[in-house]
Structure 1
Amino acid sequence: MATRFRASLLGILLLVGIGLQGWVRPQAPNAPTVLNENFDSFNDVLADGWVIVNGSEPRNDDTSDHNRWKQGRSNGNDMDSHSGANNSYAGSSWEASTFGSNSIVSNWLLTPPLLLENGKTVSFWTRSLGCSGGPDRLDIRYSTAGTSTNVASGSNTGDFSNQLGRINPDQEFGHDADGSDGYPCSDWAQFSYTLSGINQPTIGRIGFRHYIVNTANRGLYIGIDDFSYSGDLGGGTPTPITHTPTVTATNTATATNTPTSTPTSTSTRTPTNTVTNTPTNTPTNTRTPTNTPTGTPPTPTFTHTPTRTPTNTPTNTPTRTPTNTPTRTPTATSVPQIPVYKVFMCLIQNDA
């Protein structure tokens, strides 16, 4: 019983050890975890994986570049950047759509694919020219659909259904540095948002949406500068993430069988001869004289009388004789033998 228990325990420990050693932590998706962009060159921005999508309704198909995000403008009627050269920022105009009360500006600037995970921070600076014109609005959204750039059109958002924040949600007139009742329009202001609610690290994009409803009296021009995506505000150098699985040694207990000499009684049937008396009929001739009243001599008459004679017949009767069967053969210990002659000498001396 003990041997089987130890064998079962050994099997369980081996299975557990194999399971622990064979398990490898799943790799996270391979994508940058840090991204910084100051928009010094918009051509370089697009070459680095940023994407512009105009989902406005109706969309302005003018051949000029006013209908999309582009390099910032820095003439006398526009604004200078937050840092770097005067035009070192990304700009978007209401002209992404047409002029009209039913027109919707939905102009998107999307980051390259990033590794999105809880606790990561999106930070940037923005401002508007809306203090002297129609108020602007900016949505900050993200998609967990990998490299997707599906933003749908009009008021729809496609794969970018997750909203991090909205600046000037009600398209209010005037300057507001925190973006709740207006847009920062007299100076640049910084906004930061932290990712949360993501089940596990996944690849996706951050999206900036210049979103205006009714271009007849809303919307003008906005800019974004000094973007950062990292674990800290404005921190880090963009580096791709590469996960290399590491096998960590785990101490696994291994059961070892240690034999113990324990004699075990085993019953063995040994036949023993037992004599049983069985009578056997043996015929014996007995002379019985018969008198005949004639002159002829008497004639002997033989009468057959059986006589019982016991005969020895051996019968096998099994007898249980315990036989010691040790699990392990014990070591023999030598016992000194007394010579026979010494025994006789002791007997003689005792008689004397």
Structure 2
Amino acid sequence: MNFFKMIKRTKIVSGILLVTAIILMSFTLSVFVNAEGVGLTTLEENFDDVSTLTSRGWVRKNNSDNTEGSTNWFQGNDGTFGSHAGEPIAYIAANYNNTLGNGTISNWLITPELLLINGSVFSFWTRCFSGEFPDRLEVRLSTDGAEVGDTSDSVGDFGTLLLSVNPNLDSSSYPEVWTEYEVNISGLSAPVRGRIALRYFVTNGGIEGNNSNYIGIDAVSFAAAIADLDLSLSVSDAAPAMGDRVTFTVAVTNDGPSDAENISVSIPLLAAYEFISAATLTGTYDSDSNIWTVGDLANGDAATLTIEVDIDTIEDLEITATASSDLMAPDAFNNTSSVFVTPQLVASISGPVSLTLTEAYAAMSTNIFTIAGKPTSTVVQDDDYDGKILWNDETKQLDIAEGLAPGKYPVVLTASNGVEPDATLSFVLTVNAAPTINGDEALTLTGGNDATATSAYAVSGYPAPSVRQDKDYDGKILWNDETKQLDI
């Protein structure tokens, strides 16, 4: 047994046992959801509190030899060395006590499920305490689960080795200061959900072995090689009148983390309107296909398109724009945007403009009026003549009660629906009365009479009747329309 090694490691373990701290958690997870499940597109883990890792999808499994009573991955010990960033103990550590006595250490730290795409980047910082007892760390990839088997030499689903820090267990090849390592994902046939494992893998390890000491890992980062396109669609007037000209504005932003290539935006239902013009500083717009070919956008860049159309349909439409690119986040929750356009139609009213009745008529209704407009128009009348001429909103008629005296009754109907201008229709009801004339039927005078006149006759009827006499006796008996008398 190496006595110095024993003393040194006892000190480290003692330091671990004495660590107490108030820990603030710091981590970032960015998730996409699609029909196939969940995966992280970005991951930032600073190991402020390793006890929370399991609840956030991390897996820790110690497959080392002789693990009974051994340690697993544990909170960093600032008595050994401090973290790369953050609080001094804000890192995760493993050491020779992952196995008892002398054996192979195989201790797995497995990320949550990730979205793996060629070009994605996985990075971390690591260091060891001392190279006197060499350490080794492997970075492995699985696209088919999180199983690692149950023995120190099994790798389970993680058959792909991405990186090995100090593969030959040299005494000087594992850095003794915090050092960043980066792995680029490649060779995948298509985007896939998977995990990346950090495996503390040391043969001839343990307190009685010649290898294994103490390593720390900090600031694990993952970024899928995707372009998250954020699309917005707006319209200058979502409730235009028929014939109005409106402007649709389409804006697409690349929220990264990667550059986006061959972006196009489709707005198919714009074909329902009459195209007037389009303007953009990025790419081209085809009004026949309603496709905006944007081209490429670097991470953080944006582009805007404006399209002018005339509203020539009354149909309500949900206009949807959809963006696509070569490396696009598969969630698509912000790759589409919609606006509802509900064209308005000004109110109108048409129908009978007059009706003539005769005195003593029976209650009745006019012919039906035609009311139009979008939204639905309402009709009000200006005068109902004590309820004897009433608008019936259900039948779209004027209901006329009995008892109107002879005469003319003008009614103004106004149709409105909030879209200017309102529509008006003037309707006139005429109640006629048959002509009558009453008065003297005979008059006796003495020969040589002076000029005289009969009593006034009562002449009535509607419209006002005129009186015509059949014989005036050479102008000596004349009807006087002003006095309603016969002048003799």
TM-score w.r.t. the length of structure 2 is 0.39
| Equivalent residues in 2 for 1:276-291, closer than 5 Å | none
Q: CA-atom RMSD, angstroms?
A: 2.5
CA contact (8 A) 2:117 2:186 kept: yes
Q: Secondary structure at the match of 1:35?
A: strand
Task: Find 1:93's aligned residue among 90, 95, 101.
Answer: 95
Offset of residue 229 of structure 1: 0.2
Q: Which residue of 2 aligns with 1:184?
A: 175
1:214 paired with 2:220, answer no
Change in Cα spacing, 1:151 to 1:116, as seen in structure 2 (3 Å) is farther
1:149 paired with 2:147, answer yes
User: What is the rounded CA distance, in whole Å, between the counterparts of 1:223 and 1:89 in structure 2?
Assistant: 6
1:40 paired with 2:48, answer yes
Q: Which residue of 1 aligns with 2:83?
A: 81
Q: Which residue of 1 aligns with 2:408?
A: none
Change in Cα spacing, 1:245 to 1:90, as seen in structure 2 (3 Å) is closer
CA contact (8 A) 1:139 1:165 kept: yes
Offset of residue 99 of structure 1: 2.1
Query: What are the superposed Cα offsets for residues 41-92 of structure 1, whole Å, 9 maximum, x if unpaired?
Result: 112222211110001123x211xxx5200111112xx110000011000100
Change in Cα spacing, 1:32 to 1:90, as seen in structure 2 (3 Å) is same
Change in Cα spacing, 1:245 to 1:89, as seen in structure 2 (3 Å) is closer
Q: Secondary structure at the match of 2:77?
A: coil
Task: Find 2:58's aligned residue among 50, 61, 67.
Answer: 50
User: What is the rounded CA distance, in whole Å, between the counterparts of 1:243 and 1:156 in structure 2?
Assistant: 38
CA contact (8 A) 2:68 2:100 kept: no
CA contact (8 A) 1:27 1:243 kept: no
Offset of residue 142 of structure 1: 1.2
**Matched AA of 1:184:** P
Q: Which residue of 1 aligns with 2:116?
A: 116
User: What is the rounded CA distance, in whole Å, between the counterparts of 1:43 and 1:96 in structure 2?
Assistant: 17
Q: Secondary structure at the match of 1:141?
A: strand
1:200 paired with 2:190, answer yes
Identity among equivalent pairs (%): 34
Offset of residue 38 of structure 1: 0.6
Q: Which residue of 1 aligns with 2:468?
A: none
**Matched AA of 2:139:** I
Offset of residue 137 of structure 1: 0.2
| Equivalent residues in 2 for 1:51-70, closer than 5 Å | 51-58=59-66, 60-62=67-69, 67-70=71-74
User: What is the rounded CA distance, in whole Å, between the counterparts of 1:140 and 1:122 in structure 2?
Assistant: 10
User: What is the rounded CA distance, in whole Å, between the counterparts of 1:127 and 1:245 in structure 2?
Assistant: 40
| Equivalent residues in 2 for 1:277-316, closer than 5 Å | none
Offset of residue 117 of structure 1: 1.5
CA contact (8 A) 1:30 1:241 kept: no
CA contact (8 A) 2:117 2:224 kept: no
Change in Cα spacing, 1:136 to 1:121, as seen in structure 2 (3 Å) is same
Query: What are the superposed Cα offsets for residues 134-165 of structure 1, whole Å, 9 maximum, x if unpaired?
Result: 0100000011014x233442122110001110
Q: Secondary structure at the match of 1:191?
A: strand
Offset of residue 243 of structure 1: 3.7
Q: Secondary structure at the match of 1:43?
A: helix
Which consecutive unaligned segments of at least 5 residues does structure 2 have?
Answer: 1-33, 226-255, 258-328, 337-488
Change in Cα spacing, 1:85 to 1:28, as seen in structure 2 (3 Å) is same
CA contact (8 A) 2:38 2:113 kept: no
Offset of residue 244 of structure 1: 5.3
Q: Secondary structure at the match of 1:82?
A: coil
**Between Structure 1 and Structure 2, how many residues are aligned?**
200
Q: Secondary structure at the match of 1:95?
A: helix
1:129 paired with 2:119, answer no
CA contact (8 A) 1:28 1:201 kept: no
User: What is the rounded CA distance, in whole Å, between the counterparts of 1:170 and 1:121 in structure 2?
Assistant: 25
**Matched AA of 2:110:** L
User: What is the rounded CA distance, in whole Å, between the counterparts of 2:85 and 2:203 in structure 1?
Assistant: 30
**Matched AA of 1:158:** G
Change in Cα spacing, 1:241 to 1:54, as seen in structure 2 (3 Å) is farther
**Matched AA of 1:79:** F
Change in Cα spacing, 1:242 to 1:98, as seen in structure 2 (3 Å) is same
User: What is the rounded CA distance, in whole Å, between the counterparts of 1:144 and 1:72 in structure 2?
Assistant: 29
User: What is the rounded CA distance, in whole Å, between the counterparts of 1:35 and 1:119 in structure 2?
Assistant: 15
CA contact (8 A) 2:139 2:162 kept: yes
